[in-house]
Copies of this chain bind each other. A is one copy, B any other.
Amino acid sequence: MSRDKVIQVGVIGAGRIGALHARHLATRVPGAAVVAIADINVAAAQAVADQWRIPVIAADYTELLAHPDIDAVAICSSTDTHARIIQEAAAAGKHIFCEKPIDFDLNKIDQALAAVDSAGVKLQIGFNRRFDANFRRVYELVHAGKMGTPHILRITSRDPAPPPLAYLKVSGGIFLDMTIHDFDMARYLMGSEAEEIYAAGGVMVDPQIGDVGDIDTAVITLRFASGAVGVIDNSRQAVYGYDQRVEVFGSAGMVTVANNTPDSHVYSNVDGVHTAKPLYFFLERYTDSFIAEMSAFIKSIRQDTMPPVTGQDGRVPVVMALAAQKSYQENRPVRLSEIT
- Could you say which of B254, B263, B267, B277 contacts A243, with CB atoms under 8 Å apart? B254
Q: Which residues of B contact A264 (CB under 8 A)?
A: 134, 257-260
Report, as a range, how many residues of chain A touch the other chain.
Answer: 35 or more
Instruction: Tell whether, in the assembled complex, residue B333 and residue A149 are in contact, meaning their CB atoms are under 8 Å apart.
Output: no
Question: Are A274 and B273 also in contact (CB < 8 A) when A235-B249, A238-B249, A332-B333 are?
Answer: yes
Instruction: Tell whether, in the assembled complex, residue A268 and residue B277 are in contact, meaning their CB atoms are under 8 Å apart.
Output: yes
A1 at the interface (CB under 8 A from B): no
- Could you say which of B141, B235, B252, B332 contacts A332, with CB atoms under 8 Å apart? B332
Question: Are A265 and B138 also in contact (CB < 8 A) when A272-B277, A277-B272, A333-B332 are?
Answer: yes
Instruction: Tell whether, in the assembled complex, residue A266 and residue B255 are in contact, meaning their CB atoms are under 8 Å apart.
Output: yes
Binding stretch for chain B, among A63-71, A84-92, A223-231: A223-231
Instruction: Tell whether, in the assembled complex, residue B253 and residue A240 are in contact, meaning their CB atoms are under 8 Å apart.
Output: yes
* Chain A, range 240-297, C-beta contacts under 8 Å to B: 240-241, 243, 249, 251-260, 262-278
* Minimum CB–CB distance for A285 against chain B, Å: 12
Question: Are A204 and B137 also in contact (CB < 8 A) when A27-B28, A269-B240, A275-B272 are?
Answer: no
Instruction: Tell whether, in the assembled complex, residue B258 and residue A217 are in contact, meaning their CB atoms are under 8 Å apart.
Output: no
A46 at the interface (CB under 8 A from B): no
A133 at the interface (CB under 8 A from B): yes
Q: Which residues of B contact A136 (CB under 8 A)?
A: 263
Q: Which residues of B contact A177 (CB under 8 A)?
A: none
**Complex CA distance for A231 and B230, rounded to whole angstroms:** 11
* Minimum CB–CB distance for A194 against chain B, Å: 11
- Could you say which of B217, B221, B228, B271 contacts A204, with CB atoms under 8 Å apart? B228
**Complex CA distance for A239 and B227, rounded to whole angstroms:** 19
Chain A, residues 37-78, CB within 8 Å of chain B (1/0): the string is 000000000000000000000000000000000000000000
Instruction: Tell whether, in the assembled complex, residue B263 and residue A133 are in contact, meaning their CB atoms are under 8 Å apart.
Output: yes
A202 at the interface (CB under 8 A from B): yes
Q: Which residues of B contact A154 (CB under 8 A)?
A: 154, 156, 233
**Complex CA distance for A217 and B204, rounded to whole angstroms:** 30
Instruction: Tell whether, in the assembled complex, residue B219 and residue A200 are in contact, meaning their CB atoms are under 8 Å apart.
Output: no
A198 at the interface (CB under 8 A from B): yes
Task: Write 16 A-B pairs (CB below 8 A) sorted by A numbering.
Answer: A27-B27, A134-B263, A141-B265, A149-B204, A154-B156, A200-B223, A204-B227, A204-B251, A240-B269, A253-B269, A255-B265, A268-B278, A273-B274, A273-B277, A331-B333, A332-B332
9 further A-B contacts with Cβ under 8 Å, apart from A27-B28, A154-B154, A274-B274, are: A137-B262, A137-B276, A152-B219, A200-B229, A202-B229, A238-B268, A273-B275, A273-B277, A274-B275
